[in-house]
């Protein structure tokens, strides 16, 4: 004959009391540990009910699902993408309200200004043309960002996605810097727009699609068409598109091709390496620029 089991606080022969609330009599038991639990401590399980302690223990034992880049699988909203779009819209309204001289000119990327004001490598990517075909510029970029941004944000995780976007923006402007020259007059030309960063997102899609065995023809065709547009449409910076694309593709491979046990090392170390390369290229180009100025007795 078996003896009845009682939770802590229950004396032999007494009515069982809840393990967490000894003053409450209950005849319901946790299906996992067997201790009595009151209705407040009851959690519905696949079979029967469980106490809060067993639920927490079970949650710790379940391994969180992750994406191919090691990010936790979530069904939340694309907060980072929405924030970037919000910043671009706010900046654009400020451009319209304050004009070129009071606002845009202080943030736009220009090789001749970037050495003394390196923040322009970032801020220029959040501005858009506020004259001529201004509406097309910002709408096209934001639509493209919304089309691919949420998927990459979910795949890479928020912090990798932020790093990808910002470094692709910097990479686009570094490319503009590398192709500029005093002789051609492009050294003083301003560049603005999110397209360099967005091309970085397109570039990061390449290793993602290749890893899952997807059809690459559509993404290659999309990238090719947009690159060609940069060469044939006036006032479109193909240099920025190319730099963003290369930067994004490099980061994408680092993020999704890293061994599972070294994902963090590859992600952090690779991001730092890409940033260091972009800084090194910029310093080299600025050194050339300064040498030209010195040869003319300027500076």
Rounded Cα–Cα distance for residues 256 and 263 (Å): 8
Task: Show the tokens assigned to 46.
Answer: 């696949």
At 69, the pLDDT band (50, 70, 90 cuts) reads: low
pLDDT in tens, 193-218: 999 999 999 999 888 878 776 666 76
Domains of the chain: 15-50 (no CATH), 79-295 (1.20.1540.10)
In which band, very low, low, confident or very high, does the pLDDT at 275 lie, cut at 50, 70 and 90? Answer: very high
Q: 40, 60 in Cβ contact below 8 A?
A: no
Q: How far is CA 151 from CA 81, 233, 255, in A?
A: 10, 29, 15
Cα angle 186, 191, 193; round to 5: 160
Q: Where residue 262 falls among pLDDT bands split at 50, 70, 90?
A: confident
- Distance CA(293)–CA(299), nearest Å, equals 6
Q: Which residue has the tokens 């940069």?
A: 230
The distance between the two most distant Cα atoms of the chain, rounded to a whole number of Å, is 105
pLDDT above 90: residue 16: no
What is the pTM for the complete model shown?
0.76
In the predicted structure, residue 63 carries a pLDDT above the cut 70: no
Percent of the chain with pLDDT over 90: 43
Q: Which two tokens stand for residue 239?
A: 């240099």
Neighbours of 281 (CB within 10 A): 16
Distance CA 98, CA 93 (A): 9
* Distance, CA of 9 to CA of 81 (rounded, Å): 53
Are the C-beta atoms of residues 155 and 67 closer than 8 Å to each other?
A: yes
Residue corresponding to tokens 């999704």 = 256
Evaluate whether 95 touches 127 at the Cβ level (below 8 Å): yes
């Amino acid at each position: 004959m078996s003896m009845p089991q009682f939770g802590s606080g229950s004396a032999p022969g007494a009515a069982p009391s809840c393990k967490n609330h000894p003053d409450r009599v209950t005849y319901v038991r946790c299906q996992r540990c067997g201790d009595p639990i009151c209705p407040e401590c009851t959690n519905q399980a696949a079979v029967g009910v469980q106490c809060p302690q067993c639920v927490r223990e079970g949650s710790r034992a379940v391994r969180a699902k992750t994406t191919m880049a090691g990010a936790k699988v979530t069904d939340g909203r694309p907060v980072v993408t929405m924030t970037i779009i919000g910043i671009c819209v706010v900046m654009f309204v400020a451009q319209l309200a304050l004009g070129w001289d009071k606002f845009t000119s202080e943030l736009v990327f220009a090789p001749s200004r970037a050495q003394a004001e390196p923040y322009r490598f970032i801020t220029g990517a959040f501005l858009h043309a506020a004259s001529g075909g201004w509406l097309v510029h910002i709408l096209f970029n934001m639509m493209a960002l919304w089309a691919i941004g949420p998927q990459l944000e979910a795949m890479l995780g928020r912090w990798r996605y932020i790093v990808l976007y910002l470094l692709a923006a910097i990479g686009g402007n570094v490319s503009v810097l590398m192709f500029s020259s005093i002789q051609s007059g492009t050294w003083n030309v301003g560049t603005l727009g999110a397209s360099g960063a967005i091309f970085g997102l397109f570039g990061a899609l390449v290793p993602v699609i290749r890893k899952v065995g997807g059809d690459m023809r559509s993404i290659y065709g999309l990238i090719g068409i947009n690159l060609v547009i940069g060469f044939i449409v006036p006032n479109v910076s193909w240099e920025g598109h190319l730099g963003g694309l290369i930067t994004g593709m490099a980061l994408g491979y680092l993020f999704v091709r890293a061994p599972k046990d070294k994902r963090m090392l590859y992600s952090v170390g690779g991001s730092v390496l890409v940033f260091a390369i972009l800084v090194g290229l910029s310093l080299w180009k600025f050194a050339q620029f300064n040498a030209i100025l010195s040869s003319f007795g300027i500076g």
